[in-house]
């Protein structure tokens, strides 16, 4: 009995020694760190923070994520006159440099403004948008982006995202490339909601039209980008029009030359018939004509819009116009 009892004691002692050594090794290996203790910052984490400051986004991806959610089955509600006016007044106040007044006006329509930093170049851009994603999905009124590198000098309008596939890429390219730009971006497919109520290029009762009008009142010239099916005009890549106006004719001619320099085939509406792609019924164009402000209606075929290289070429050509506008020249 004594020997058996002694053997049990030795075994327990040995096991205790093994457990002690294991615990010590665990501490040395870091395995005993409590689960809720903050993870030490690694060099990779410091590098990421330095490269992408807080609040920064890839602006192209950010806007494309928004337009990717736009579908023909989506909802759209025609805004009341007071809601249209509140957003337009908010944009006016923001461009006047009065952000508090802008925020108050926008809030009455459920909108807000925030500043984004684009990781591509570090440019600062203000986003004026519905305060919640749910609101965007239910109302579909769209967004406004304001380049903050200087005073607003020109605008690019994207009335048919998703319907005119990838036209937002043209707008993004222009906004990134030329200072002083404002991009007005529709928030619903042109077929959303039933009938033509979401077709903001042909309806006066939209936030899109209200903001575009406010910018025209400030004498900001505009380019409105569209897309058409290749078979609609098979011998041309791009259709350039000034709508029903003539204030933008010199800019339109300049754009035509720049597009041809990119090896794109252009149909000039003031020279020939270009099918049903001439922008003669565009409400933003009509308002710009009444205000005496240049307006360009530019259609791009599918081949151009689906090719990143051709999109870049179209943006370079359009930039020949927007750069002059940014410099205060026609």
- Over residues 89-116, the mean pLDDT reads 98
User: Where are any strands of DSSP class E within the chain?
Assistant: 56-57, 111-118, 124-130, 143-147, 154-158, 181-185, 222-228, 238-241, 266-268, 295-301
Query: Which of 76-80, 170-174, 181-185, 191-195 bottoms out in mean pLDDT, i.e. has the lowest?
Result: 191-195
Say which CATH topology domain 57-326 has.
Answer: Aminopeptidase (3.40.630)
Distance of CA 90 to the CA centre of its chain: 19
Question: And the tokens for 58?
Answer: 């890839």
Q: Which residue, among 41, 21, 17, 18, has the nearest Cα to 29 in the 3D structure?
A: 21
d(CA 146, CA 205): 22
Q: Is the pLDDT score of 35 beyond 90?
A: no
pLDDT digits (tens, 9 = 90+) for 112-170: 999 999 999 999 999 999 999 899 999 999 999 999 999 999 999 999 999 999 999 99
One DSSP character per residue, 217-265 reads HTT--EEEEEEE-GGGSTT-SEEEE-TT--TTHHHHHHHHHHHHHTT--
Q: Could you tell me the pLDDT band of residue 55, with boundaries at 50, 70 and 90?
A: low
* 189 close to 71: Cβ distance less than 8 angstroms: yes
Q: Is the pLDDT score of 8 beyond 60?
A: no
Of 280 and 41, more confident = 280
d(CA 168, CA 190): 14
* 168 close to 196: Cβ distance less than 8 angstroms: no
What pLDDT does 116 receive?
Answer: 97
* 241 close to 297: Cβ distance less than 8 angstroms: yes
What pLDDT does 195 receive?
Answer: 87
Which residue carries 């982006």 as its tokens?
A: 145
What pLDDT does 329 receive?
Answer: 87
* 326 close to 153: Cβ distance less than 8 angstroms: yes
Q: Which residue, among 224, 198, 201, 231, has the nearest Cα to 302 in the 3D structure?
A: 231
pLDDT digits (tens, 9 = 90+) for 242-274: 999 999 999 999 999 999 999 999 999 999 999
Segments making up each domain of the chain, as ranges:
57-326
Three-state DSSP state, 103: helix
């Amino acid at each position: 009995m004594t020997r058996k009892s002694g053997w049990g004691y030795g075994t327990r002692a040995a096991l205790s020694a093994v457990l002690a050594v294991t615990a010590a090794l665990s501490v040395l290996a870091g395995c005993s760190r409590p689960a809720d203790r903050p993870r030490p910052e690694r060099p990779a984490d410091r590098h990421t923070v330095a490269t992408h400051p807080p609040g920064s986004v890839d602006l192209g991806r950010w806007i494309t994520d928004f337009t990717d959610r736009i579908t023909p089955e989506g909802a759209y509600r025609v805004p009341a006159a007071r809601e249209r006016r509140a957003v337009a007044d908010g944009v006016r106040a923001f461009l006047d440099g009065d952000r508090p007044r802008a925020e108050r006006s926008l809030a009455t329509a459920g909108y807000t403004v925030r500043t984004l930093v684009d990781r591509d170049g570090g440019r600062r851009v203000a986003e004026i948008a519905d305060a919640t994603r749910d609101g965007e999905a239910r109302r579909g009124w769209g967004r406004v982006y304001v380049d903050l590198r200087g005073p607003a000098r020109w605008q690019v309008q994207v009335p048919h995202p998703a319907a005119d596939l990838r036209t937002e890429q043209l707008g993004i390219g222009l906004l990134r490339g030329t200072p002083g730009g404002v991009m007005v971006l529709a928030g619903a497919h042109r077929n959303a909601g039933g009938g033509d109520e979401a077709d903001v290029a042909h309806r006066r009762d939209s936030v899109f039209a209200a903001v575009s009008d406010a910018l025209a009142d400030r004498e900001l010239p505009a380019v409105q980008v569209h897309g058409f099916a290749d078979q609609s005009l098979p011998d041309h890549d791009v259709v350039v029009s000034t709508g029903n106006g003539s204030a933008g004719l010199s800019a339109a001619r300049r754009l035509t030359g720049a597009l041809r320099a990119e090896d794109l085939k252009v149909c000039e509406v003031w020279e020939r018939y270009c099918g049903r792609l001439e922008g003669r019924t565009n409400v933003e164009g009509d308002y710009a004509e009444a205000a005496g402000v240049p307006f360009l209606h530019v259609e791009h075929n599918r081949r151009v819009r689906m090719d990143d290289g051709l999109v870049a070429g179209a943006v370079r050509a359009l930039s020949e116009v927007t750069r002059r506008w940014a410099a205060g020249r026609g």
